[in-house]
């Protein structure tokens, strides 16, 4: 199939889908000024070459969602997106308007703390957490005297970010698995699919007969299982797909 045929087929799948699930990786945030990890100039790619990460194009507190984030919100507003699974900790999906009940942030969200006891999520500001005094609040950080506790149950609150060696968040994993099993179309955007266990969800969907679509510049380990594959830039493909979905629905 040529590019137009692939785009139109994916559009038809989305229009007719009952359980569209989108899965995003760092590639969706590069247009916001953030680096990816395994692209030609990604964080891990540069590390493997003995190079430091490239400096951010904008400071963290000024990073904003880009067009791709808002296009996913458009699919949600059209009633076509059932659930979003993301590997990203940048918080841009939530900033763009995706509510917590519609997303599983598998590796956490840099703007939120969570209670280890009751699961409550709250911003650092809501918790009264001063990083200069109590640090980043990672799970492995020592508990310091006087640091804020959960306002609901007084349990220990920690950064929601999942670092290497941390256990995966149980609630997020359960939701991601549940929606992957239900998916009739599973659309991967901007992920190299090499980080485990997050990379298991596309194959869970595939084993349950979902149509698997991948939009990512670099190769992915599951190439032979993909139904439609785009090696193009996200900003060149996703706007076309969403615009044509909208035209068919409305």
- Tell me what pLDDT residue 137 has: 96
Q: How far apart are CA 194 and CA 72, in angstroms?
A: 23
- Tell me what pLDDT residue 62 has: 83
Neighbours of 177 (CB within 10 A): 17
- Tell me what pLDDT residue 108 has: 96
- Enter the pTM of the model: 0.92
Q: Which residue has the tokens 């590069």?
A: 30
Domains of the chain: 3-107+168-249 (3.40.50.1220), 111-160 (no CATH)
3-state secondary structure 171-192: HHHHHHHHHHHHCCEEEEECCC
| Catalytic site includes residue 93 | no
- Give the β-pairing of 185-189 and 228-230: unpaired
- How would you write the pLDDT of the chain (250 residues) with one tens digit per residue? 999 999 999 999 999 999 999 999 999 999 998 877 666 666 556 667 777 777 777 777 789 999 999 999 999 999 999 999 999 999 999 999 999 999 999 999 999 999 999 999 999 999 999 999 999 999 999 999 999 999 999 999 999 999 989 999 999 999 999 999 999 999 999 999 999 999 999 999 999 999 999 999 999 999 999 999 999 999 999 999 999 999 999 8
Catalytic residue among 19, 69, 93, 107: 107
Helices marked H in the chain: 3-16, 43-48, 67-77, 92-96, 124-127, 131-134, 170-182, 201-207, 234-249
């Amino acid at each position: 199939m040529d590019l137009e045929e692939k785009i139109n087929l994916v559009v038809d799948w989305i229009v007719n889908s009952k359980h569209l699930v989108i899965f995003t990786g760092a590639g969706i945030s590069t247009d916001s000024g953030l680096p990816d990890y395994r692209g030609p100039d990604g964080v891990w790619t540069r590390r493997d070459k003995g190079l430091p990460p490239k400096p951010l194009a904008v400071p963290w507190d000024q990073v904003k969602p880009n067009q791709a984030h808002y296009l996913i919100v458009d699919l949600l507003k059209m009633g076509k997106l059932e659930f979003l699974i993301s590997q990203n900790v940048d918080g841009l999906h939530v900033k763009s308007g995706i509510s917590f009940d519609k997303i599983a942030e598998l590796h956490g969200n840099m703007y939120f703390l969570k209670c280890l006891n009751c699961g409550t999520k709250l911003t650092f500001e809501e918790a009264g957490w001063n990083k200069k005094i109590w640090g980043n609040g990672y799970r492995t950080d020592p508990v310091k005297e006087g640091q804020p506790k959960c306002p609901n149950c007084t349990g220990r609150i920690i950064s929601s970010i999942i670092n290497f060696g941390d256990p995966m968040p149980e609630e997020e994993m359960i939701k991601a698995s549940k929606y992957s099993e239900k998916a009739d179309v599973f659309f991967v955007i901007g992920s190299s699919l090499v980080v485990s266990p997050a990379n298991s969800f596309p194959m869970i969907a595939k084993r349950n007969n979902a149509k698997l679509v991948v939009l990512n510049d670099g190769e992915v380990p599951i190439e032979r299982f993909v139904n439609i594959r785009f090696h193009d830039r996200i900003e060149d493909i996703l706007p076309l797909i969403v615009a044509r979905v909208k035209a068919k629905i409305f």
